[in-house]
Amino acid sequence: MVNKEIFVPIMPWLIGGSRIGGSYNIYVSSVGTDPYKGCLSEKIFNYRIWIEKIEEDEYLKACCYYGLNSYDNQPEDGIITETFPLSEEGREQVKAFLEKQRDDYLD
């Protein structure tokens, strides 16, 4: 049974310790892995969600990439990245974006 659910963490988790001098958290996950076979599935959809601060403004960012390569070993042109407002509406937009990318790739 392959898990295809996209999970977007709640805002306090993403914000992490940034409000007290720490850093933001980066959520990293994948879809298409089989709990019994691990990453040996034919198609793996990987994604990341984080907060990025540009000057005084903060944004939600999400990216996705495909296959068994890690994020650091993925060619730049193989990563699709989008920016969203830092809000609950932005969280929903992140989920919709990632679900569309997942469906385009896995289906």
pLDDT digits (tens, 9 = 90+) for 9-64: 999 999 999 888 889 999 999 887 766 666 656 678 899 999 999 888 999 999 99
End-to-end CA distance of the chain: 15
Query: Are 94 and 8 within 8 A, CB to CB?
Result: yes
Task: Give residues with Cβ within 8 angstroms of 15, minimum separation 6.
Answer: 24, 25, 51
- pTM, to two decimals: 0.88
Of how many residues is the chain composed?
A: 107
